[in-house]
Structure 1
Amino acid sequence: MWRIKAFTLLESLITLAVTSFILLSFSGGISRSFAKVEEQLFFLSFEQLYRDTQKLSISTRQMKVLTISNKEISNGSQVLEVPKNIKTVKKMALEFDQKGGNSSLTKIKFQTPEKIVTYQLYIGSGKYKKAESKSLYSP
């Protein structure tokens, strides 16, 4: 007859502890990766909302306002939530005229834990230039 050897309680607890440690160490890397992907998706969504607001002002031939706050960005019909790890440097409202152009040379700045993302707006055309710089508070 075969004898089946089993783990003792101590061996089972050691195995559980090692497995838990390995899983927790991987989850830290995964959460950092998830945060970076969330940042990239937010900036792509912001750029799309900016362009949509321009198109909306052109198609309706009415002035549209893109409101930027710490919690959300809205053009009146669409709302984009700002992730927790991204801060807006300044609250503002961008006005788009009937031709889709803006009337200012405003800089829109977003602060992430690692960088500052700046959108420099060009007067009249409604176009922008995106620039990234290292954050003062990065590790």
Structure 2
Amino acid sequence: MWRIKGFTLLESLVVLAITAFLLLGLSGGVKQTFASVEEQLFFLSFEHLYRDTQKLSALSKQEMTLILDNEKISNGIETLDLPENIKLGKDMTLHFDQTGGNSSLAKLNFQTPKKTVEYQLYIGSGQYKKTENERLHSP
């Protein structure tokens, strides 16, 4: 006859505590990774929306407007929601002329928990320069 050994209640609680600790430790890293990927996807989507608005205005030969506020970015056709951890420096409205050119030298600032992302717009061409600066944390 085989004798089956089982866990005692104390051993079961120790295993449960260790498992819970490991899961909680891993979930923090997963959340940070998810937030980082979400930020990168947002900036890629924003750049895509900016270029799409520029192309639409040139192709349709109509002026278009890109509206940026702390909740969403929209050109009237497509809307992009801002993630909770990304804040827009200030609300703005960008106008594209019939050739797709931008009519301002505006700077768009986005704040994330770890960095500031700035888009310097160039007048006429509709092009931009993107710079990322690490934010200094207060001790």
Query: Shorter-chain TM-score: which interval?
Result: over 0.9
Identity rate of aligned residues, in percent? Answer: 64
RMSD: 1.1
| 1:16 equivalent in structure 2 | 16
Structure 1 residue identity aligned to 2:91: K
Specify the code of the residue in structure 1 equivalent to 2:126. Answer: G
Distance in 2 (alpha carbons) for counterparts of 1:21 and 1:117: 35
Cα distance change, pair 133–56 in 1 and its aligned pair in 2 (3 A): same
Q: Which residue of 2 aligns with 1:51?
A: 51
Distance 1:72 1:11 in 2: 52
CA–CA distance in structure 2, aligned partners of residues 14 and 121 of structure 1: 58
* TM-score, length basis structure 2: 0.97
Q: Does 1:96 align with 2:125?
A: no
Report 1:68-87 matches (<5 A): 68-87=68-87
Q: Do structure 1's residue 123 and structure 2's residue 123 form an aligned pair?
A: yes
**Displacement of 1:60:** 1.0
Change (3 A) 1:115 1:23: same
> 1:108 matched to which residue of 2?
108
What is the rounded CA distance, in whole Å, between the counterparts of 2:68 and 2:136 in structure 1?
Answer: 22
Which residue does the alignment assign to 1:28?
Answer: 28
How big is each residue's C-alpha offset from its partner over 1:76-124, in whole Å with a ceiling of 9 and x where there is no partner? Answer: 0000000000000100000000000011100000000000000000000
Count of matched residue pairs: 139
What residue number does 1:38 align with?
A: 38
**Helix, strand or coil: the match of 1:124?**
coil
**SS of residue paired to 2:11:** helix
SS in 1 for 2:103: coil
Q: Which amino acid is 1:132 matched to?
A: E
Does residue 61 (structure 1) correspond to residue 61 (structure 2)? The answer is yes
Cα 1:138–1:30, aligned 2, differ >3 Å: closer, same or farther? Answer: farther
Which residue matches 2:135?
A: 135
1:23-46 Cα shifts (integer Å, max 9, x gaps)? 110110011000000000000000
* TM-score, normalised via structure 1 length: 0.97
Give structure 2 stretches of 5+ with no counterpart: none
Asked if structure 2 preserves the Cα contact closer than 8 Å seen for 1:113 and 1:138, the reply is no
Give the distance between the partners of 1:59 and 1:136, measured in 2 at CA: 43
